[in-house]
Amino acid sequence: MYFNLIEKENWSRRPYFDHYMNNVRCTYSITANIDITELLIQLKKNNIKLYPALIYMAAKVINRHEEFRTCFDEDGNLGYWENMNPCFTVFHKDDETFTNIWTMYSDDFGIFYRNYIDDMKKYSDIKKISAKENEPKNTFPISCTPWVSFTGFNLNIYADGTYLLPIITYGKYFEQDGKLLLPLSLQVHHAVCDGYHTSRFFTELQTLSQSCDEWLLSK
């Protein structure tokens, strides 16, 4: 876990960062549908759970791009993590609460999947917000609302507006024109991510879904 400091004086994004941090501080979200038709076929064929596959795909794209790993450290320094781990929600049906669990990311899906399964066995039944202790600082939040196929999703964070990391929310997949589509909402801070960056996130996530046979084989 390494935090790379950004030298703002030589940072090409500085004028945009300063504008959206100091003049027009704002976050925004984009919701789009991901075609998971082939992904679901391959998951069923290989007896693999959907949720960890979706978490892995999101984490893989985030770890490819610096803008999704940019934030402030505990001392207020601006920089980006060398890599990031997902922190995801698990729902408790009996009392309708949820638990956050973080899992160590690996670019190898097989390793990540085993990490996920181990963490679920140990922590998924613990009834508190954060079940797994010692969460590293280089985590990003991801959740799922599998009860509704939303067309838009937005989180209103009432703070000082300096949370820069992406927030990812999956919805309920549905069938349309012979395809199985999954709504996904990506919320980011405009100081570090523009429309180009969020569009690239969705494009690469779609590519991972369609080429799932290439990375699922490592399970």
Please compute, for residue 86, the number of CA atoms within 13 A of its CA located in the half-sphere on the CB side.
30
Residue identified by tokens 């920089």 is 79
Which residues are CB-contacts of 178 (< 8 A; sequence separation ≥ 6)? none
Nearest Cα neighbor of 5 from 76, 84, 104, 85 is 76
The full DSSP string for 7-56 is: -GGG-TTHHHHHIIIIIS--EEEEEEEEE-HHHHHHHHHHT--HHHHHHH
Active site residues: 190
Contact 46, 216 (CB under 8 A): yes
Contact 103, 119 (CB under 8 A): yes
Which residues are CB-contacts of 1 (< 8 A; sequence separation ≥ 6)? 81, 82, 83, 136, 137, 138
